[in-house]
Amino acid sequence: MIKEQDGLIEHLEKIIENLDASLAKDIAKFAIDKGINTLSEKQKYVLEEGISDYLMYECPNCGEEISYEDMEISIDNGMCSYCSHKWDKMQKE
């Protein structure tokens, strides 16, 4: 289920224009306007399914929890910023 933590609304605002599914996009707009806590469990499920390509709750390398603030970069890198930094450092050696 979608994690209700700091940064979720900001994350939704960043990704909303990239959403294809109109229902998930509508739910995201509603959540941005009214708050995530106003959504039913079913709406939260549809939203999470619709934005699943934009979610990475934990690093696949180290298992560290990823905040919504760092999620976009982590998805692009395929790992958290710390593991990405270690990988870059190792590549330079």
**Confidence check: pLDDT of 6 > 90:** no
Q: Which of 14, 26, 32 is CA-nearest to residue 69? A: 14
Give the DSSP per-residue string, 21-69.
-HHHHHHHHHHHHH-GGGS-HHHHHHHHHHTGGG---B-TTT--B--HH
- Residue 58 pairs with which residues in a beta bridge? 65
Provide the pLDDT for residue 2.
80
15 pLDDT band, cuts 50/70/90, is: very high
The model's pLDDT over 20-62, given as tens digits with 9 standing for 90+, comes to 878 999 999 999 999 999 999 999 999 999 999 999 999 999 9
State pLDDT tens for residues 62-74.
999 999 999 999 9
pLDDT of the residue at 92: 87
Q: Could you give the count of Cα atoms lying within 13 Å of 56 in the half-sphere of its Cβ?
A: 22
Of 27 and 5, the structure prediction assigns the larger pLDDT to: 27
